[in-house]
Amino acid sequence: MIYFNTDINMSLGEDIYAALRSGRFPHSVIIEGGSGSKRMSLSKGIAQALVCSSDESPCGVCPHCRKAAAGIHPDIELCEEDKKGNFTANTARDIVNSVSIIPNEADSKVYILTLTGEMSPVSQNILLKTLEEPPKYAFFIIACPSAADLLDTVISRSRVFSLGEQESEPDEEESSKALETACLIAKAIVADSEFDIVREASVFEKDKKLFADTLPVLDEIIVEAMKVKATGIRCERFGGTADTLGLRLTLARLEKLEKATRELKSGLENNRNYNLLITRLCTLFRANT
């Protein structure tokens, strides 16, 4: 199983996989909560799974998955708000008018509707009939801050997947520091000396926020490394660190690291002793174990 490229909790991930595997994925889903980028990333992951031609979707390797990952799949349509932040009636009409055109390449056609605020009742009402009786190949993913902002009639025709509380977009400078730190930690995992991890982890001693920001990125790197291991396809993100991990470590070790990252995240969320958590990170990630 390939995990989604986003920081979501396990039970939500399992719910989504169960729905995908059932072969009866809801034609209309609402992704709410979290940050805009998390909602987008999850929506794209689901769209990829829906166009994927493998039984184990998203497989990550079939032509559909590759095109979806590159953002060029002709059967995945991104429908966005205009510059003023309105999801216009024209955009809604375009969706209704194009939905009857059968998919180009895949067996499914996916519309991702991204909202940063509310959608006007007019636009929602235009979409309503299509959401109610979509062609069997059509799927709609409405990514929005809160499902409660949508009309009851839209909500009742959709399944809601919640990413939890709404979050603001991460600060750019903080994100790039977290990315850099996660890459250094990842490199230290495969370093020759076990002291590398202790050295790299020392930046966390006085910076709990950095620790909290770094763990999800580290988790993503490890998940990407698992994909590299499973598929042999190199990962272009993270400056080659996911590739290095994928090539040098066994799948069992990568799975342990992924579990370890989740353990640390939950330790942080549950306010465990902070210094012990850093020590735990060093123990779990130490080179050659």
- Which residues are bridge partners to 30 per DSSP? 142, 160
The alpha carbon of 126 is separated from its chain's Cα centroid by a whole number of angstroms, namely 29
Q: In 3-state terms, the chain is what percent helix, strand and coil (to 5)?
A: 55, 10, 35
76 contacts Zn ion (rule: CB under 5 A): no
Residues that contact Zn ion, how many (by CB under 5 A): 5
Number of helices (H) and strands (E) in the chain: give both, helices first.
12, 5
Q: Which is nearer to Zn ion, 52 or 254 (CB)?
A: 52
50 contacts Zn ion (rule: CB under 5 A): no
59 contacts Zn ion (rule: CB under 5 A): yes
Identified binder of Zn ion from the candidate list 29, 50, 52, 226, rule CB under 5 A: 52
The span of 3-11, 58-66, 135-143, 271-279 binding Zn ion (CB under 5 A) equals 58-66
- How many Å apart are CA 11 and CA 51, to the nearest integer? 23
47 contacts Zn ion (rule: CB under 5 A): no
62 contacts Zn ion (rule: CB under 5 A): yes
Q: Which is nearer to Zn ion, 53 or 90 (CB)?
A: 53
46 contacts Zn ion (rule: CB under 5 A): no
- How many Å apart are CA 140 and CA 113, to the nearest integer? 7
Q: Which is nearer to Zn ion, 69 or 284 (CB)?
A: 69
- How many Å apart are CA 197 and CA 131, to the nearest integer? 51
- How many Å apart are CA 75 and CA 68, to the nearest integer? 9
The alpha carbon of 53 is separated from its chain's Cα centroid by a whole number of angstroms, namely 20
Looking from the CA of 229 toward its CB, the CA atoms found within 13 Å total: 22
Q: Smallest distance, Å, CB 67 to Zn ion? A: 10
88 contacts Zn ion (rule: CB under 5 A): no
Q: Smallest distance, Å, CB 66 to Zn ion? A: 8
175 contacts Zn ion (rule: CB under 5 A): no
Please state, as a whole number, how many other Cβ atoms lie within 10 Å of the Cβ of residue 9. Answer: 14
The span of 63-71, 107-115, 157-165, 254-262 binding Zn ion (CB under 5 A) equals 63-71
231 contacts Zn ion (rule: CB under 5 A): no
42 contacts Zn ion (rule: CB under 5 A): no
Give, for 114, the enclosing helix (H) or strand (E).
strand 109-114
> What does the binding site for Zn ion look like in residue numbers (CB under 5 A)?
52, 54, 59, 62, 65
